[in-house]
Structure 1
């Protein structure tokens, strides 16, 4: 069985709840029955869809989201910015930018000197 063939009961529940129990909100930006991604690019599983808040799970951690705004009410991201949830994963360009920022932060934190790296790795670190 392929991963794409596995049915997610939570997605089915979200679709039913979105249509029946909770009336749709005007301009609600998130389709709770579809795949969910946070602003850091991690995919979340829907655990509970409430009228005011939504609970998701990523790996072993749970997150609580404001259903109206899509913002996380239980935590912020590593940079202290407000986390948001939506249906779009990070683009390849955004993922690459974040990798470069992380690599630079590690270099600064540990005082790495690029000249110690082989030429192929230096070129890759510089985006070449």
Structure 2
């Protein structure tokens, strides 16, 4: 994925579901979600252990399937172990009709899941952090 492609994703994305978000402010998943929210993105928290609670002013959903249909998620940012990614991608493809991007965080690499997403017409960013890329690429 080129810098221009990542920049385009960051410019076009409006709503991001963050899978595996933590409620602890010192955790990378929380820090990234908070950073993105401060930059104007709507962040939808997804974590079964926090389901029903409020985090960053949004209701936490147990999984992607539970996000209401009127919420048009553009991107799923995955903070999960690589072996969990195929399930997250399958759920995203099945339940998020407006989805355009699967983003796997730093250290999260799953080629099979990436191919599944690409085959479904989705863009895939793997082993990158949107916070780092935003700081690097956005004016």
State the TM-score, normalized to the length of structure 2.
0.26
Higher Cα Rg, which structure = 1
